[in-house]
Amino acid sequence: MLQIKNLFVGYGKVTIIQDLSMKIDSGEVVALIGANGTGKTTLVRAISKLNTVSGGTITFDGENITDLSPDKIVEKGIIQVPEGRKLFAQMSVRENLEMGAFTKRARVNEKENLEYVYSVFPELKAMEKQACGNLSGGQQQMVAIGRSIMAEPKLLILDEPSIGLSPITTQHMFEAIRTINKKGISILITEQNVQDVLKMANRAYVMQQGKIVLSGKAQEISKSEELKKIYLGM
Amino acid sequence: MNMQIFQALLDGVLMGGVYALAALGLSLIFGVMKITNFAHGAMMTVGMYTVYVVSTGLGISPYISLIFAAVTLFVLGYVIQHFLIDKISQAPTHNQLLLTLGIAYILENGLLAVFTPNYKTLEVDDFEGSIKLGQITLSPEKLVAFAVVFVVTAVIYLMLYRTRTGKAIRACSQNREGAQLMGIVIKKTNAIAFGIGALCTGIAGALLTPILSIYPTLGETFQLKCFVIAILGGMGNLWGALISGLIVGVVESVTGYVAGGSWSDLTVYAAFILILLVKPSGLFGRSNRREH
């Protein structure tokens, strides 16, 4: 579904992502793990075209999308829930969700999708009219995920969805992500919460200093000695 | 209350409404693009001359020519954002400021070249005399101006809060990357927002044309006034701009009555500095926290 080949991404003269290749198949949950500052966010921002790609190709459903603009990427069905959520703080929960259905493609099923979001996160319905800036971190994360569902993703990218959330809220969030995946939406998730995300994922890539250093089935990775080495420096 | 003070108060509110509309445009542009439009006053003058030319040329009421001014300024604003400001959106802020200042000079000098620096006065025959309510005299031009401001503001408000494009404009002003990730095309949304901002100042200019004698550099006075109002209201805060506009109008008018016209500007700017000393983010400004 998504295929990344020999990707280079950098800021100015500094290259962050070096010669990175990975793929995500239809319906999969793929985890991208690695310590802070290894380039996970840089990579997913490049997929959404918030960062400029300096080399390599990204293809989606067989089409080269390396040079598309961010709105065209969204139109193709690659939707990102960014790190820090990036909600519209002074707009209501409902308005934030509506903005998810901004593209022509997503407008068609706006009503059904809104109902679906409310069925996944019933809490949101009750605070429809509240400004997002006043919600708790967990509630804001629900709005962010809900907003992305409104955009009708084929591939949903979640960048550190559990950051700043309590363990219980995190479990709740992962549960919701599983539900969304069952709908047939492929998922790429970056996490520092390694063991939890590996339980949910089908496959995983481990990143270190802008490169993939380990990849394979999530279960195998979670048991591998190399992961411990990378993470704990043992 | 002394009737003459009441008169000054009313006059101030009516003029303040027009200032408020122009400042609303400036504040909207800042809120969305984070850019201070130094061509705002010059654009207002373009609105004035559009009304002057259309009214005298076609022999129609300035209040119908106003529609031409609105359309012209929307297009002008859209084009300036799309072809000029957008190109340097990644440049340092001072370069963007200089660009809008350059646009201001081009517009002003263009008007000077075409219309000469001479004052032009539009003869308005829509109204006869003025409206008298007891000891209060109201100019019908100012009353109509205030009514138009009210309608235009309501339309802009509905547009921003009820339509998809309006919500996209607000989304961009609150979180640009969040908006991009939802498929909103920033470039187009910015151009529309700048167009609406320009339209506000253009209509304000159009409404002033029957009241004032116009000349090509007249906008400079209003540029500074808009700036003061927008900052008092908290840059990017549209309600703040509206209320501050009325406040500035009233302060100006009442000071003019009490102490004489030459004291008006002095009092407005002194009050402005004092307020900023006490509340640096403006009367209705949010704190300086900015989300990225």
The arithmetic mean of pLDDT across residues B270-290, rounded, is: 80
Chain B contact set for A79 (CB, 8 A): 181
A222 CB within 8 Å of a chain B CB = no
Q: Give the best residue of A79, A85, A102, A134 to mutate against chain B (max B CB count within 10 A).
A: A102
Mean pLDDT of chain A: 93
Q: Give me the residue from A74, A90, A98 closest to B181, CB to CB.
A: A74
For residue A94, how far is the Cα from the chain centroid?
Answer: 21
* Pair B184, A86: CB distance under 8 Å: no
Q: What is the Cα–Cα distance from A105 to A83, expressed in whole angstroms?
A: 25
Identify residue A190 by its one-letter amino acid code.
Answer: T
Quick one: which of B207, B61, B211, B63 has its CA closest to B139?
A: B211
Higher pLDDT, residue B90 or B218: B218
pLDDT at A62: 94
pLDDT at A233: 60
Checking if the pLDDT of B292 tops 50, the result is no
Chain A contact set for B175 (CB, 8 A): 86-89
- Quote the ipTM score: 0.92
* Pair A143, A132: CB distance under 8 Å: yes
Cβ under 8 Å to B: A residues 95-114: 95, 98-100, 102-103, 106
Burial B16-50 (b: 16+ CB within 10 A, else e): bbbbbbbbbbbbbbbbbbebbbbbbbbbbbbbbbb
pLDDT at B180: 96
Partner-chain contact A50 B177, CB within 8 Å: yes
What are the pLDDT digits (tens) for B156-206? Answer: 999 999 999 999 999 999 999 999 999 999 999 999 999 999 999 999 999
Mean pLDDT of chain B: 92
Residue A42 burial by CB count (10 A; 0-12/13-18/19+): exposed, middle or buried?
A: buried
pLDDT at B286: 67
Higher pLDDT, residue A105 or B89: A105
pLDDT at B290: 45
Q: Give me the residue from B174, B178, B183 closest to A71, CB to CB.
A: B183
Checking if the pLDDT of B285 tops 80, the result is no
Q: Is the dihedral of CA A220, A225, A228, A233 positive or negative?
A: negative
Chain B contact set for A95 (CB, 8 A): 167
pLDDT at B289: 47
Question: Measured between alpha carbons, how far is residue A229 from residues A189, A200, A219, A225 in Å?
Answer: 22, 22, 17, 6
Partner-chain contact B183 A90, CB within 8 Å: no
State the nearest Cα–Cα gap between A148 and chain B, in angstroms: 7
> What percent of chain A is modeled with pLDDT above 70?
99
Chain A contact set for B160 (CB, 8 A): none
Checking if the pLDDT of B288 tops 70, the result is no
Partner-chain contact A147 B182, CB within 8 Å: yes
The arithmetic mean of pLDDT across residues B272-276, rounded, is: 92
Q: What is the Cα–Cα distance from B81 to A169, expressed in whole angstroms?
A: 43
pLDDT at A21: 95
Residue A31, classed as helix, strand or coil, is strand
pLDDT at B291: 41
A50 CB within 8 Å of a chain B CB = yes
Residue for token pair 């380990």? A214
Partner-chain contact B183 A86, CB within 8 Å: no
Partner-chain contact B174 A74, CB within 8 Å: no
* Pair B137, B192: CB distance under 8 Å: no
Identify residue A65 by its one-letter amino acid code.
Answer: I
State the nearest Cα–Cα gap between B171 and chain A, in angstroms: 6
Checking if the pLDDT of B287 tops 90, the result is no
Other CB atoms within 10 A of residue B155 CB:
10
Q: B173: which 2 tokens?
A: 């002003």
Containing A145, the helix (H) or strand (E) segment is helix A137-150
- When pLDDT is cut at 50, 70 and 90, the band that residue B283 belongs to is confident
Q: Show the 3-state SS of A46-105.
A: HHCCCCCEEEEEEEECCEECCCCCHHHHHHHCEEEECCCCCCCCCCEHHHHHHHHCCCHH
Region of poorest pLDDT, from A123-127, B55-59, B234-238, B241-245: B234-238
pLDDT at A147: 96
Partner-chain contact B178 A82, CB within 8 Å: yes
pLDDT at A234: 52
Q: Give me the residue from A82, A91, A106 closest to B177, CB to CB.
A: A82
Chain A residue closest in CA terms to B186 = A71
Helix (DSSP H) and strand (DSSP E) numbers for chain B: 11, 2
Residue for token pair 């517009």? B107
Chain A contact set for B164 (CB, 8 A): 98, 102
What are the pLDDT digits (tens) for A60-94? Answer: 999 999 999 999 999 999 999 999 999 999 999 99
State the nearest Cα–Cα gap between B160 and chain A, in angstroms: 11
Checking if the pLDDT of A163 tops 90, the result is no
State the nearest Cα–Cα gap between A98 and chain B, in angstroms: 9
Chain A contact set for B181 (CB, 8 A): 48, 50, 70, 74, 79-80, 82, 86
- When pLDDT is cut at 50, 70 and 90, the band that residue B133 belongs to is confident
> What percent of chain B is modeled with pLDDT above 90?
77
pLDDT at B131: 84
The arithmetic mean of pLDDT across residues A20-40, rounded, is: 93
Quick one: which of A141, A144, A148 has its CA closest to A165?
A: A141
What are the pLDDT digits (tens) for A167-206? Answer: 999 998 999 999 999 999 999 999 888 888 999 999 999 9
A131 CB within 8 Å of a chain B CB = no
Residue for token pair 């500094």? A14
**CA torsion A110→A115→A121→A122, rounded to 10°?**
140
B interface with A, Cβ–Cβ below 8 Å: 164, 167-168, 170-171, 174-175, 177-185, 291
Partner-chain contact A106 B183, CB within 8 Å: yes
The arithmetic mean of pLDDT across residues A138-145, rounded, is: 94
Checking A49-53 for CB contacts under 8 A at 24+ apart, the result is A49/A73, A50/B177, A50/B180, A50/B181, A51/A9, A51/A11, A52/A9, A53/A7, A53/A8, A53/A9
> What percent of chain B is modeled with pLDDT above 70?
97
A74 CB within 8 Å of a chain B CB = yes
